[in-house]
Amino acid sequence: MSRNESASASNFIAQIIEDDLQAGRHTEVVTRFPPEPNGYLHVGHAKSICVNFGLAEQFGGRCNLRFDDTNPTKEEQEYVDAIKADVQWLGFQWDGEVRYASDYFDQFYAWAQELIRAGKAYVCDLSAEEASEYRGWATQPGKPSPYRERPVEENLDLLERMKNGEFDEGSRVLRAKIDMASPNMNLRDPILYRIRKQRHHQTGDKWCIYPSYDFAHGQEDAIEGVTHSICTLEFADHRPLYDWFIENLSVPAKPKQYEFGRLNLNYTVTSKRKLKQLVDDKAVDGWDDPRMPTISGMRRRGFTPQAIRNFCNGLPVAKSDGVVDIAQLEFAIRDDLDKSAPRAMCVLDPIKVVITNLEAGVVENMTAPAHPKMDLGERTLPFTRELYIDRADFSEDTSLSRKKFKRLVLGDYVRLRSAYVIKAEEVVRDEAGAIQEIRASLVPGTVGENPPECIKPRGVIHWVSASHGKRATVRIYDRLFAHPAPDKGEANFMQHLNPGSLTVLDNCWVEPGLAEAAPEAGFQFEREGYFVADRYDHSGEHPVFNKTIGLRDTWANK
Ligand code: ATP
Ligand code: MG
């Protein structure tokens, strides 16, 4: 294993694997990440990816990427492509080629015939409503379908004709013959095949019947020789059914399933169906909108793969579901970006400062380290007569205490980061009385040097040259939902959308070097937070940055 960052060494699944290896039950570990390509991956999937790929790495094994594509009605090639890109972006590589459940459709069909021949499956003509009535409910045993004792030959013939498209959708299904009185509803003659006259993104028009997820999932693992099938808790009730298939079919291997708790985050929905609704209803600008908890959304927001992995690996692999505070994810992001992001200056809400004792046309190049601790080189900051500072960094109120307002005040001094100490002399107003510019003077000899004793700058603020800086668009994000549990209460989750989740500022000014920033390059804008050059919209002519996260957790105090 090249990356020794997985905290999973101590989790209960790792323990099981270790025991299996020691006892000689397995000589090699094979896991898989099995998404259904019916949407983009979200932060919960990131956890599953870290667990599956992480365990394989930890034990020198292999992890497959397999699309569980048994339902053609909701699946698309776009999702397949996005999922592959997301897994790789997170820093993982699957073993060999990508696999598809649909690669095994012929085998599933043969297994269905095998069950029929053994008297363990039958074609059932009950309508959906009838079948559900026959199934009974948790406390009430079901009753056998009138088609349960169909002869083998008739079943084989009907299944063949279902496959050939001779019957209408919904008119028949293939069911396993297990136990209509089982307390586990999953064992009450579950459906193995449905008629669906749908084109499939991998197999085209070849099939008119599709296996159920339950009939496919465990056998896919068996075909691939998966040793430890890891999934989330909602599948625990399905395990007896998977085991039944494995016991009753001539499968090449016998995988075992282990379940762990889903990752849920507060202020977030993690269900592809709900995320799709946000996209379809245009509540966001697509699956990779930076406000989305999708992997591609987090990427566009400027979260790093390392930070997401740190977050996932720092969480327990638990035997129960829980809700994780989103502040924990945000902490992981800040922690990683603080270490890695180059520093830069950006003025979000500009007000002009004219340095009266510097002639127009004069450019003094200041230098500043790109990072305070790491050697990321230096940046050049042209200092000119006209500058921008942030409106919030200036006040005319001379009674403001030095402790409270460590910024520029009329008649007082402040240091411009990596440049001169300046003094605000006067303000110039427009006809409406709004401040148009601040006229200030620089204190000579104060670049990298303390001013004379008598001059006490209130603090340090950031700035950008008005003539050499670049105008930029900056998108500021807030949480997509204003409610800590948007999909848990009575109201529809869409009602909890935070109306202020996106603010676009299009008159921001960035230091000139940022025009050269590559798309997806992340920065700490000093005193403002972490920002990333937009993956798609950023260019040298028109810089566009997305706010990744603030420097501190401000939400906690709201
Ligand atoms: P969703 O409800 O969002 O559609 P899903 O479980 O149907 O999720 P799949 O594509 O079937 O999505 O999931 C692929 C794998 O990711 C499965 O093994 C599943 O258990 C796991 N997974 C999905 N959501 C989470 C989550 N929130 N936390 C941990 N693992 C998850
Ligand atoms: Mg699913």
User: Catalytic annotation on 429?
Assistant: no
State how far the alpha carbon of 177 is from the alpha carbons of 105, 192, 202, 317, 321, in Å. 21, 10, 30, 35, 32
Contact 317, 12 (CB under 8 A): yes
Burial of 193 (0-12, 13-18, 19+ CB in 10 A): buried
Q: Is the CB of residue 60 less than 8 Å from the CB of residue 1?
A: yes
Is 135 among the domain residues? Answer: yes
**Which residues of the chain carry a pLDDT beneath 50?**
1-4, 6-8
Nearest CA to ligand 1 atom 3: 271
Which pLDDT value is given to residue 552?
87
The packing angle between helices 213-224 and 105-117, to 10°, is: 110
Residues 18 and 56 occupy one common structural domain: yes
Using the 3D structure, point to which of 265, 297, 312 is the last residue of a domain: 265
Q: What is the DSSP letter of 249?
A: S
Please check whether residues 247 and 288 belong to one and the same domain: no
Structure tokens belonging to residue 362:
């004069």
Burial profile 408-436: b = 16 or more Cβ within 10 angstroms, e = fewer = bbbebbbbbbbbbbbbbeebeeeeeeeee
Residues 62 and 185 in one domain: yes
- 229 and 277 in one domain? no
Residue 288: inside a domain, yes or no? yes
Ligand nearest to the CA of 258: 1
> What's the distance, Cα to Cα, between the start and end of the chain in Å?
43
Ligand 2 centroid to Cα of residue 37, in Å, is 9
Residue the block writes with tokens 């922690």 = 335
Residue 558 lies in a domain: no
Shared-domain flag, residues 502 and 517: yes
Instruction: Provide the pairing of β-strand 529-533 with 30-33.
Output: unpaired
Phi and psi at residue 323, to the nearest 5°: -115, 125
CB-based contacts of 381, cutoff 8 Å, min separation 6: 345, 365, 366, 367, 368, 418, 419, 465, 511
What domain range includes position 137?
3-265
Residues 182 and 157 reside in one and the same domain: yes
Which CATH number covers residue 238? 3.40.50.620
Q: For residue 554, is it within any domain?
A: no
Residue 426: inside a domain, yes or no?
yes
Q: Are residues 211 and 330 in the same domain?
A: no
Residue 556 lies in a domain: no
Shared-domain flag, residues 477 and 464: no
By most ligand atoms within 8 Å of CB, the mutation choice from 38, 40, 48 for ligand 1 is 48
CB 173 within 8 A of CB 127: no
Tell me if 78 sits within 8 A of 107, measured CB to CB.
no
The answer to whether residue 206 sits within a structural domain is yes
Q: What integer pLDDT is reported at residue 3 of this predicted model?
A: 47
| pTM of the predicted model as reported, rounded to 2 decimal places | 0.94
For ligand 1, what atom is nearest to the CA of residue 42? 3
Q: What is the pLDDT of residue 5?
A: 52
Residue 555 lies in a domain: no
Q: How far is 188 from 480, CA to CA, in rounded Å?
A: 42
Point out which residues pair with 322 in neighbouring strands: 263
Taking CA atoms only, the protein residue closest to ligand 1 atom 9 is: 35
Please give the pLDDT value at position 490: 86
Q: State which of 408, 435, 468 marks the end of a domain.
A: 468
Would you say 376 and 522 are in contact if contact means Cβ atoms under 8 Å apart? no
CA of 317 to the centre of ligand 2 (A): 20
Residue 417 among the catalytic residues? no
Question: Which residue has tokens 């083998």?
Answer: 152
Nearest ligand by distance to the CA of 35: 1
Helical H runs in 354-445? none
What span, in angstroms and rounded, lies between the C-alpha atoms of 252 and 322? 36
Q: Indicate whether 326 and 438 sit together in one domain.
A: no
Do residues 18 and 125 share a domain? Answer: yes
The separation between CA 514 and the C-alpha centre of its own chain, rounded to angstroms, equals 26
pLDDT tens for 405-435 read: 999 999 999 999 999 999 999 999 999 999 9
Known catalytic residue at 148: no
The whole-number pLDDT of residue 531 equals 98
Answer yes or no: are the C-beta atoms of 104 and 120 closer than 8 Å: no
Domain termination site, one of 211, 241, 265: 265
What burial class does residue 494 get, using C-beta atoms within 10 Å of its C-beta: 0-12 exposed, 13-18 middle, 19+ buried? middle
Residues 126 and 241 in one domain: yes
Instruction: State the closest ligand 1 atom to the C-alpha of 275, by its place in the atom list counted from 1.
Output: 3
Q: Which of 32, 272, 301, 415 is catalytic?
A: 272
In the reported structure, the alpha carbon of residue 70 is separated from the centroid of ligand 2 by a whole-number distance in angstroms of: 11
CATH code of the domain covering residue 293:
2.40.240.10
The pLDDT assigned to 154 comes to 98
So what's the pLDDT on residue 372? 92
Q: Are 481 and 267 in contact (CB under 8 A)?
A: yes
Of 32, 262, 291, 479, the active-site residue reads: 262
Say whether both 310 and 336 belong to one domain: yes
Q: What are the two backbone dihedrals, phi and then psi, of residue 156, each rounded to the nearest 5 degrees? A: -65, -40
User: From ligand 1's centre to the CA of 66, what distance in Å?
Assistant: 13
Q: How many separate domains does the chain show? A: 3
Side-chain-facing half-sphere of 471: CA atoms under 13 Å? 4
Angle at 296 between CA 290 and CA 297, to 5 degrees: 15
Q: Which residues line ligand 1 (CB under 6 A)?
A: 34-36, 44-45, 47-48, 231-232, 262-263, 270-272
- Tell the residue nearest (CA) to atom 15 of ligand 1: 35
